[in-house]
Structure 1
Amino acid sequence: MSELSKVAYVFPGQGSQSTGMGVDLYDRYPSARAVFDQADASLGFSLSRLCFEGPDEELTKTH
């Protein structure tokens, strides 16, 4: 039996977005970079740029 991972992902919920979120993961982990790059390609806009640079007004929109 394999050892369980000691990684947990916690999602704090609506309203917790902030400009720059995720950029440390993107810069540090190739797997995180790949996820953001795939999201950008799939969505047809740069989700990574929105997360990393804002503007806050666009980042915090809800529908």
Structure 2
Amino acid sequence: MTVEAHLATLEKKHGALEQELHVAMNQPSVEDELITDIKRRKLRIKDEIERLRSSTH
């Protein structure tokens, strides 16, 4: 897999987590732990995206 393809995959995952987070935050019955977990996974992916982008420049 090329770096560009890996970046595209990570960006799709990040977008999906953003959508999942939006849905979870609009449901009062969702546990705070779930929201925290989604945010943590989103941040991990964002960090990896930034790391890959910086290594290609």
The verdict on a shared fold, with TM-score over 0.5 as the criterion, is no
Q: TM-score, normalised by structure 2?
A: 0.33
Under a length normalisation based on structure 1, what TM-score does the superposition of the two structures give?
0.31
Structure number with greater CO (CA < 8 Å, separation at least 6) is 2
Give 1 or 2: higher helix fraction: 2
